[in-house]
């Protein structure tokens, strides 16, 4: 069974600095999708970034980028120039390709606090 592990329950960063959130996963599939979602206090789950496993290039979205290491089954999220609005819980999620369609497997989450 696939699993997703986020080893950092809580992190904090100063405004304008850079922070990296860690995520590892376990799967026997070769093709799959990885995501980072953000859940602010409003509880609305918001997509941050998506990575297809068949793409070697790391995904980036403005201040957010990932370090995808397929062999190591690692998928970390880097937030540059942190802003107060980045304060939220961040979830790493896995979706298999053909197996378990429509099912996201989530990590336990990392609570990130951005300090002024």
- Interacting residue ranges for another protein, rule: CB under 8 A: 33, 35, 37, 42-47, 50, 91, 95, 97-98, 100-109
Minimum separation from the CB atom of position 95 to another protein (A): 7
Considering beta carbons, is residue 49 or 82 the nearer one to another protein? 49
Shorter beta-carbon distance to another protein: residue 42 or 116: 42
CA-closest candidate to residue 116, choices 9, 11, 13: 13
Q: Name 13's bridge partners.
A: 114
Cβ nearer to another protein, comparing 105 with 114: 105
CB nearer to another protein: give 51 or 87.
51
Candidates 73, 20, 91, 31; CA nearest to 55 is 31
Q: Report the C-alpha gap between 4 and 108 in whole angstroms.
A: 8
Closest CA to 84 of 56, 107, 112, 64: 112
Least distance CB 62 / another protein (angstroms): 17
């Amino acid at each position: 069974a696939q699993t997703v592990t986020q080893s950092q329950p809580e992190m904090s960063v100063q405004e304008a600095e850079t922070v990296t959130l860690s995520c590892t996963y376990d799967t026997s599939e070769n093709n799959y999708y990885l995501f980072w979602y953000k859940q602010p206090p409003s509880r609305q789950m918001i997509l941050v970034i998506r990575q297809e496993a068949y793409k070697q290039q790391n995904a980036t979205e403005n201040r957010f980028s990932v370090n995808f290491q397929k062999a190591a089954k690692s998928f970390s999220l880097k937030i540059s120039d942190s802003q107060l609005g980045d304060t939220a819980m961040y979830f790493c999620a896995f979706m298999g390709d053909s197996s378990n369609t429509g099912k996201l497997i989530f990590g336990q989450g990392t609570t990130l606090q951005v300090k002024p």
